[in-house]
Amino acid sequence: MKVVLGQKEIVVVWKKRSCAIFVLNETPQQEWERKLNGWHVIDGYMYCVVSLVVNVASECGYTASHYIDLQNLQTTLGRTDKFTVLAFPCNQFGSQEPGTNFQVKQFARELYGATFPLFAKINVLDDNVPQAWQYLIKATGQLPNWNFWKYLVDIDGKALDAWGPWVTVEDIQDDIRKAIKKHDDEL
């Protein structure tokens, strides 16, 4: 599957228990931006883990509680190399993510100590929705209608479930732990 994230064109290939993400035609500026965003690619690709994919916003009523809980989750489960939060800023709901990609990253890192990958801004509705997000929406039947929609994706790239912003990160930790345990049991 070919996906465009911000200015980066990537190919996502899902295989049993892993996926590879290949960066295509990366310019020096895009490499710098990718590294700035904390997206490290080893030997041209990175392996997928159980992921919580979230559309984030800096000026939303859910911002503080979600960023704090997402970082706590990343600190607790991300250190196992079996899980990561993948954050995608989106300005489509109430224009609550108005800054540049750099400003969004700076906000998340400085205010909340966010260490999880923070990608370039995307649309999650209407035009220009990345294919990966189209897949999440179709697979779960859950179209985001506000900021901080959360999609749980297993190691095989299968979307397991989705939750709106009114469901806290703490409320879904058991689901995340079950997805990680299922992966461990299969190895």
Mean pLDDT of all residues belonging to the chain: 79
C-alpha to C-alpha distance for 114 and 141, rounded to whole angstroms: 29
pLDDT of residue 157: 77
- Selecting among 19, 48, 60, 90, the annotated active-site residue is 60
C-alpha to C-alpha distance for 34 and 121, rounded to whole angstroms: 13
pLDDT of residue 30: 56
For the chain, list the domains and their CATH numbers: 50-186 (3.40.30.10)
pTM attached to this predicted model: 0.78
Q: Could you report the per-residue pLDDT of 89-110, keeping only the tens digit for each?
A: 999 999 999 999 889 989 999 9
Q: Confidence class of residue 26 from pLDDT cuts 50, 70 and 90? A: low
Q: Active-site residue 60, yes or no?
A: yes
